């Protein structure tokens, strides 16, 4: 493997065609690709595409509008004696990673470094570790397919821009629907320490823009203070957050057993002696699967209308805008009991977990594909400086995927 620099200064790898045979080597290879969400992921996708084509597989790509990012979907077909057609099992992972800006790393983030029993590098656990294990599994699946022993297709789905709103996965799912591919199950390999996560919360991000009217601070009655009205709305959001935390339909199986509302950023004002004419803030809503965005949106919209009316009574050009910037659905466990039973039998661990963070899993379940989350590494290491995955987690994932593959085979 050699490393070069693109004309835009972003390092990337020029990969040879002697592909790895182990998951650790695959992970080392994948980390070299700087797939921070603001960059293209095409170099990584093209490398994986070449690998899959060397295995005799047909790769399907779906692109973003700018054509500088792509999803990859590839299928190892079932054998001749298959009793299931166009169904199968999806192994899903996102190729993008979060930035390293401002973080103090003790080793180069885009070069895999093994120290002791850990492999360090951006994406090591979130979530190139799982992708590495899945790529290592592919040749074994192809062998079984060629022998006619794979009774259920095995699919690999790699997406772009999960970290900035799960933007890539919907394109994969739309493409599958158009092609008549209806997978039986999906496993999203986000880091769970190889525990079975059966549900997660959804997330919606909102931006609120409060338009006031400027005035000299000695003449406050002639202005409309955008910060003051923003603070009233923020106070209402906090009150609503407290109310929904005490609902009688909360779910104790979640690590945070209630839906949450949280203000994240705020910006406004130009000087202390000027009544501010603009204030913006953002907040996110992380909902339990049985709750909807409407549960909080309706009361917040009513409060926005109330406050806007008060502002406009003083100056008609004022008011409040409420805009949704991001939305990722929750993942439910309503349809995945059969998959859960399969995973529990393979791992010997029937414990089911529910988590507060969101993944692409909710998009799969919304498309009618029963899904669980299970992958190597800990979510506590994700997005941090010196991100790492323990080597035994990679070994556990390899073993799990091998057993999963064996469950999709038949003697012949």
- Using a 10 angstrom Cβ sphere, with 0-12 exposed, 13-18 middle and 19 or more buried, the burial of residue 237 is buried
Q: How far apart are CA 405 and CA 397, in angstroms?
A: 12
Contacts of 187 (CB under 8 A, 6+ apart): 89, 90, 91, 92, 343, 371, 372, 373, 374, 404
CA dihedral (187, 191, 196, 198) positive or negative: negative
Q: Give the number of other Cβ atoms within 10 Å of residue 4's Cβ.
A: 8
* Active-site residue (options: 34, 47, 96, 163): 96
162 among known catalytic residues: yes
Question: Which residue in the list 126, 162, 190, 398 is annotated as catalytic?
Answer: 162
Identify whether 96 is a catalytic site residue.
yes
In the sheet that holds 154-159, the strands lie side by side as: 59-63, 70-76, 154-159, 89-94, 185-188, 371-373, 196-200, 352-355
State how far the Cα of 287 lies from the Cα of 182, in Å rounded to an integer: 27
Integer-rounded Cα radius of gyration of the chain: 24
How many whole angstroms separate alpha carbon 290 and alpha carbon 300? Answer: 19
Give catalytic residue positions: 96, 162
């Amino acid at each position: 493997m050699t490393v070069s620099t693109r004309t835009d200064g972003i390092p990337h790898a020029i990969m040879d065609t002697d592909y790895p045979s182990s998951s650790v080597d695959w992970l080392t290879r994948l980390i070299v690709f700087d797939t921070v969400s603001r960059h293209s992921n095409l170099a990584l996708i093209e490398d994986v595409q070449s690998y899959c084509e060397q295995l005799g597989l047909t790769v399907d790509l779906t692109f973003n509008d700018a054509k500088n990012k792509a999803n990859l979907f590839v299928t190892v077909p079932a054998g001749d004696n298959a009793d299931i057609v166009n169904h199968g099992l999806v192994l899903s992972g996102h190729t993008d990673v979060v930035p390293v800006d401002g973080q103090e790393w003790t080793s180069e983030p885009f070069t895999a470094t093994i120290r002791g029993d850990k492999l360090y590098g951006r994406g090591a656990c979130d979530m190139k570790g799982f992708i590495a294990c899945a790529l290592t599994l592919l040749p074994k699946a192809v062998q079984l397919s060629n022998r006619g022993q794979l009774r259920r297709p095995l699919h690999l789905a790699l997406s772009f821009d999960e970290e900035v709103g799960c933007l890539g996965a919907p394109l994969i799912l739309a493409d599958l629907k158009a092609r008549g591919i209806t997978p039986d199950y999906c496993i999203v390999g986000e880091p769970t320490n190889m525990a079975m996560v059966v549900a997660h919360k959804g997330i919606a991000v909102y931006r609120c823009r409060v338009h006031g009217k400027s005035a000299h601070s000695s003449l406050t009655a002639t202005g409309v203070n955008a910060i003051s009205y923003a603070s009233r709305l923020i106070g209402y959001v906090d009150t609503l957050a407290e109310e929904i935390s005490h609902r009688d339909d909360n779910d104790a199986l979640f690590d945070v057993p209630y839906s949450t509302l949280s203000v994240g950023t705020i910006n406004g004002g130009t000087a202390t002696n000027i009544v501010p004419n603009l204030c913006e803030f953002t907040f996110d809503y992380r909902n339990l699967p049985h709750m909807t965005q409407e549960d909080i949106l309706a009361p917040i919209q009513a409060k926005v209308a109330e406050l806007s009316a008060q502002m406009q009574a003083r100056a008609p050009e004022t008011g409040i805008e409420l805009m949704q910037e991001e939305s990722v659905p929750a993942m439910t466990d309503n349809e995945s009991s059969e998959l859960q039973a399969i995973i529990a039998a393979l791992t010997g661990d029937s414990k089911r977990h529910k988590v507060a963070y969101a993944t692409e899993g909710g998009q799969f379940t919304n498309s009618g594909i029963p899904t669980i989350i299970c992958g190597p590494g800990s979510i506590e290491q994700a997005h941090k400086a010196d991100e790492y995955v323990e080597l035994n987690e990679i070994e556990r994932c390899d073993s799990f995927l091998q057993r999963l593959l064996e469950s999709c085979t038949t003697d012949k």
